[in-house]
Structure 1
């Protein structure tokens, strides 16, 4: 069922006569299922696990017969290759039922499973296409754009949303931001079972997503039919008419192999030095006028003479191509909104010619001193996202620059990888809407005193909700954390490499909106951390990594909202306070490479809670003694019921093997 209106009409035919009858309704749209089962939650279908996949394959192939022992190993391998999709399992099972039941024949199927599915998947694609056909147009476009990513690729949600935004596929309503709209569209696709959640952030938001191989086949087929995406690999045929008449062009790095000498202009000498294949690609690209997105995929390659002069180009993602020099023809792409490059050098001042640019990402491939952004960066008012490995942000140049008015970067929301950031009054007034900020200081940053960087002005960034402030140095002695006053809206704080006075922990604890705190490679001036009443009232995630804490004194009311406690390599920490087991919201305690007594205290919390009847307590252990069993993945993405600790478990005090990683999940 695809629409709630249909259910409203059909349910009139099924009056409730109190005779115990039941109706089973299936839908690929979660909103329809929720509406129809308003009195109880709907049952969400999931992918089959390995055992279920093998059982379904056996039933399809052998029916009531037994599977020969010599075929079980390769049969399980084939079932797992279908990645839990019943349609794929039935397709392969139908093929196996027709071939000879011999190990060599089944081995041949196992080694060519993907090509077999692709060759015989017409029926599956027709079934899957029902979901695509019922998508509204704005979701169809967003779904097709996922075809730019390679097979089995973990798609970063942030990148996917920015690419869609740059293409103009996201349509905000009212005060909605483009990021909010992009995440809402993605959630709609997930609720319809088309897109899968792969990884989540500590905050619970989706970090990466993916699509099943068969769904990707559907995506690629529809994208080619609509002349939406064309992917070019080294062996593709370019002779067909309209080979480049698509909106989006993806070039795999396998074609970016050329022994031509390099020139500053990346389109010079292509005809003289390149082989016939590369020349063919060059000529075809030059004749295309419709390309809006040019995306390079694959591993890093050296810079190549490739055509970049597409007058209507909005997206250029060339992170997988290493340029020795900035490709100057990019400066002519006046409609460009998304630019991602990998090169070791400084951006030219003429980058400000790209007045429509919203997203700028520059990575380095070789370790070199940080470069300087040109002052003209302040004259690009549409910038929303700036991301670098490490770069110096120039001082604000004033109201006039070369006789032209400068602009306020009022649309800038993320500023990542800024070295020795000076938060002067001119700077914070001209980036008023920054939400995410990442600052890096090196070992020589404080030679002139921390007052040079005006970090007390961070409090004036009223929209800031995520701050990473890192000090990178190999010295044992860490610098004192400078005077910091955080904005009240801050939700996520990450500090790395600092010596933290006790007063600052009190300051951090008083941030009433703080939800995530990460302290990595930091030292407290005292080896004891004692909290005060009312601190960390909304904190949901606490990460401590390589801290010098020995004793930790905390009560239940100190972390009333805590959901995840992650402790990594805190080898001096004696124990986790037992009061953490009484926090009603706590879901995960994870201990990695810490002291033996700390690991035992984590297990003791688990046992104490289970003895009190907390049956929802779950555990997970890696490289742990065989006296403990394995456990399911994080509750946020669990697709099958977890295995609980067995009733005859041994006491953690009896464990003989060292624990490398221990996680405890509280449901």
Structure 2
């Protein structure tokens, strides 16, 4: 495969950063840019240029003295609309924009649309390519949504547990993001017909429809976040073999149980680099949600670089297999991913691990040395309120440069010892720059 659209976009973004036109606000764990900021002077310049009749880049819709500016009927020349407030009243303004390609809603409050208002947006803007409507909660999906043939990007919020079959008609869609109040989402649409689809994301556990034998592989699909364990089948992954990012949400025992073959299918995703596993604990006590362990090493995706676990309640004795993943650089253990009062890192060496996050656990004693984490750069401990101390031996990890503590009060004293030890080592080496950063929240008094 050649360079992807996502990689091209990231290159353009990094170029803008290198030219000081943008500055990085946050980076992802893997090193990529997560959020950016723009300098005020440049922002004002861009706004003026965007609003000029010559560029006609975007139009912000505002409500003033009870009226929308511009009015819904004076959007003939507008191509991109952005609305922040009074969204509920916007449909009643009878908007009509035959040239509008983008409609973006950034309201701080959620708005529920019902009745005839639901169909207003697809009817008013028939050549939409981008529809970002997360704050707008649809009580039902407008049937005329499937008429937006040019749609490339769609974000919807629903009070529903089903994604209808008519979504299959959105043949040009590239990004599909669905937020729902339901814990599960039944996808009836045939996503294999959406040959341009690159990203699917939902906050629910999404089940896929039965695959027709005639369905071809989607070579472009790179991200699927929210698929259910039941849908992690051979047929699905054979048609999504270019996936790079995958999030599985639901009863993970169906996936990780040694008697099942679901993870055998996962191992066939040769391009997968990022995997998130979130266990469903709804209405069940932790004892019933606890996973028995991990499958053998050969059942993991071969190129896996980032792994996130949530609510798996694993015993710390099972973590050793993760240290054998040769390409693993980022490990995030969130929300009781592991339970138990002692983690002794003995024979296991996390040789390539650069970032380790441990969040919300009952861990009390952690025994480790720097040679267990030879490439560790950043350690994050969040809500580890029972952890007595961080292993002082981590100060010997040569690349260790950032320690972030959040609501982990008992570990503060040991964190400061590590900071002093790192500072002393750098002074002994006559280092010109002291690069170790310690962050504590709430601030230590």
Task: Answer whether TM exceeds 0.5 for this pair.
Answer: yes
Distance 1:608 1:227, change over 3 A: closer
Equivalent residue number for residue 422 of structure 1: 231
In structure 1, what is the Cα distance between the partners aligned to 2:392 and 2:251?
38
Structure 1 gaps, min length 5: 1-173, 259-269, 400-404, 627-667
In structure 2, what is the Cα distance between the partners aligned to 1:573 and 1:199?
27
Provide the secondary structure at the position in 2 that maps to 1:517.
strand
Which residue of 605, 610, 613 maps to 2:423? 610
Equivalent residue number for residue 434 of structure 1: 243
Equivalent residue number for residue 508 of structure 1: 322
- Say how many residue pairs are matched: 420
Which residue of 60, 84, 106 maps to 1:252? 84
In structure 2, what is the Cα distance between the partners aligned to 1:293 and 1:238?
16
Provide the secondary structure at the position in 2 that maps to 1:209.
strand
1:491: how far off? Answer: 0.6
Larger radius of gyration: 1
1:321: how far off? Answer: 1.3
Distance 1:290 1:551, change over 3 A: same
Equivalent residue number for residue 15 of structure 2: 188
1:234: how far off? Answer: 1.4
Higher strand share: 2
Equivalent residue number for residue 271 of structure 2: 463
The answer to whether structure 1 residue 412 and structure 2 residue 221 are counterparts is yes
1:342: how far off? Answer: 1.0
Distance 1:451 1:361, change over 3 A: farther
Provide the secondary structure at the position in 1 that maps to 2:266.
helix
Which residue of 600, 606, 629 maps to 2:413? 600
Residues 529-540 of structure 1: pairs in structure 2 closer than 5 A: 529-532=344-347, 535-540=349-354
Equivalent residue number for residue 233 of structure 1: 62
1:529: how far off? Answer: 2.2
Query: Is the CA contact (8 Å cut-off) linking 1:233 and 1:255 kept in structure 2?
Result: no
Equivalent residue number for residue 356 of structure 1: 172
Distance 1:324 1:517, change over 3 A: same
Equivalent residue number for residue 321 of structure 1: 136
Distance 1:498 1:391, change over 3 A: closer
1:427: how far off? Answer: 1.6
Equivalent residue number for residue 32 of structure 2: 205
TM-score, normalised to structure 1's length?
0.58
Equivalent residue number for residue 291 of structure 2: 480
Distance 1:243 1:215, change over 3 A: farther
TM-score, normalised to structure 2's length?
0.85
Provide the secondary structure at the position in 1 that maps to 2:50.
helix
Provide the secondary structure at the position in 2 that maps to 1:302.
strand
Q: Which is further off, 245-254 or 337-346?
A: 245-254
Which residue of 587, 590, 598 maps to 2:404? 590
Distance 1:554 1:251, change over 3 A: same
Query: Is the CA contact (8 Å cut-off) linking 1:419 and 1:440 kept in structure 2?
Result: yes
Structure 2 gaps, min length 5: none
Equivalent residue number for residue 381 of structure 1: 195
1:595: how far off? Answer: 5.6
Distance 1:178 1:446, change over 3 A: closer
1:233: how far off? Answer: 1.2
Query: Is the CA contact (8 Å cut-off) linking 1:467 and 1:493 kept in structure 2?
Result: yes
Provide the secondary structure at the position in 2 that maps to 1:183.
helix
Which residue of 125, 145, 149 maps to 1:334? 149
Higher helix share: 1
Query: Is the CA contact (8 Å cut-off) linking 1:455 and 1:483 kept in structure 2?
Result: no
Provide the secondary structure at the position in 1 that maps to 2:221.
coil
Distance 1:210 1:613, change over 3 A: closer
In structure 2, what is the Cα distance between the partners aligned to 1:381 and 1:607?
55
CA shift digits 1:230-281 (9 cap, x unpaired): 12111354379974313222233324327xxxxxxxxxxx7xxx4xxx13xx
Query: Is the CA contact (8 Å cut-off) linking 2:229 and 2:254 kept in structure 1?
Result: no
What value does the CA root-mean-square deviation take over the aligned residues? 2.8
Query: Is the CA contact (8 Å cut-off) linking 1:319 and 1:341 kept in structure 2?
Result: yes
